[in-house]
Amino acid sequence: MKQQIPLYLGIDGGGTKCKARLEDAQGNLLGEGLAGPANPVRGLALSQQAVLDSTLMALEQAKLGQGQLPSVNACLGLAGVNVALYANQYKNWRHPFAKLHVMSDLQAACLGAHGNQDGAVIICGTGFNAGAYINGQLTEVGGHGFELGDHASGARLGINAVRRVLEAIDGLCQHSSMTKAITSYTKCSNASALFETYHKATPSQFAALAPIVIQYAKQGDVHAVEIMRTCAAYIDLVVERLQKLCPPRFSMIGGIAEPMFQWLNKASQDALVDPLHSPEEGAILFARNNEH
């Protein structure tokens, strides 16, 4: 099938997965793709591979081959490239696209959530990031990666759950349904096994435990509830901070956004509205508006 150029590609690349969306010149969805982690903090080659894999998957779904890559106007929204080091690494990429824009996942999310208009956004997925674009100015809050930040993220829920299991094993707190569920899921019944499995685990591996925490928090499990409340309190702080900038719209997106919502305070809940579009649609909006 011969496709009329140009094509438009939007990428939303986070710590666990990379989503691609391909549209034609008229804005019709041609195909979508999904690949692995695309955060360059965990490896540039891995990140670029995820971008290409998800793109080729989207092309394939559109019944197009990789021969079409030189017709693609691409915009990547990537976690991690808010750090200058990783943004610079991406600048030197000998990419196969007609044109390439690289922006933070935050900017793509904001463009999508508010339909290319001003607004603020909180992303809580595997990692955490938040910010506001107002009058052309970006204010970023939080993020800073798994080790130093991401205080309200799937990875943080997961590592806090593992820590709580270790504390229960140590006799520093009681076991609960959640610690037992984590023990069962991880197949680690003692501290040494948990250490060997998790002391160098990736954010994705920790985030894989987040659904267990979320599930048991809903049931009132004492440890799960405390972990959710700690994360929610951090989000409340971020909402309060960004509200001072009076964003016209404010959304929270990402894999744990929906289950986190009920744990936020009322002021945060009142501040947040549904996003209009996805981050990958936000990236495509940018590619269209910056074609020439």
Residues 164-203, mask of contacts with a second copy (x by CB under 8 A): --x---xxx------------------xx-xxx-xxxx--
Q: Check binding of 137 to a second copy (CB under 8 A).
A: no
Q: Check binding of 246 to a second copy (CB under 8 A).
A: no
Residue from 46, 116, 138, 144 in contact with a second copy (CB under 8 A): 144
Side chain identity at residue 104, one-letter code? S
Minimum Å gap between C-beta 127 and a second copy is 12
Residue from 13, 145, 254, 279 in contact with a second copy (CB under 8 A): 145
Residues 211-240 that bind a second copy (CB under 8 A): 237-238
In this chain, which stretch among 64-72, 96-104, 137-145, 268-276 interacts with a second copy, using CB under 8 A? 137-145
Residue from 67, 94, 147, 187 in contact with a second copy (CB under 8 A): 147
In this chain, which stretch among 50-58, 146-154, 217-225, 284-292 interacts with a second copy, using CB under 8 A? 146-154
Listed as own residue / partner, the contacts of 244-248 with beta carbons closer than 8 Å and 24 or more positions apart are 245/120, 245/132, 245/134, 245/139, 246/134, 247/118, 247/119, 247/120, 247/132, 247/134, 248/114, 248/117, 248/118, 248/119, 248/134
Closest CA to 78 of 56, 47, 54: 47
Minimum Å gap between C-beta 216 and a second copy is 20
Helix (H/G/I), strand (E/B), else coil: 184: helix
Side chain identity at residue 3, one-letter code? Q
Q: How many whole angstroms separate alpha carbon 18 and alpha carbon 15?
A: 8
Residues in the chain: 292
Number of residues that bind a second copy (CB under 8 A): 32
Listed as own residue / partner, the contacts of 268-272 with beta carbons closer than 8 Å and 24 or more positions apart are 268/235, 268/236, 268/239, 268/240, 271/239, 271/243, 272/239
Q: HSE (CB half, 13 Å, CA atoms) of 148? A: 5
Q: Check binding of 141 to a second copy (CB under 8 A).
A: yes
What are residue 159's phi and psi, to 5 degrees? -70, -35
Q: How many whole angstroms separate alpha carbon 8 and alpha carbon 23?
A: 5
Minimum Å gap between C-beta 283 and a second copy is 22
Q: How many whole angstroms separate alpha carbon 177 and alpha carbon 255?
A: 23
57 or 141: CB nearest a second copy: 141
152 or 272: CB nearest a second copy: 152
In this chain, which stretch among 47-55, 70-78, 99-107, 159-167 interacts with a second copy, using CB under 8 A? 159-167
Closest CA to 36 of 60, 25, 20: 20
Match 């991690």 to its residue by tokens. Answer: 80
Residues 248-287, mask of contacts with a second copy (x by CB under 8 A): ----------------------------------------
Residues 67-86, mask of contacts with a second copy (x by CB under 8 A): ---------------xxxx-
Q: DSSP assignment, residue 71?
A: G
The residues binding a second copy (CB under 8 A) are 41, 82-85, 140-142, 144-145, 147-149, 159, 162-163, 166, 170-172, 191-192, 194-196, 198-201, 237-238, 241
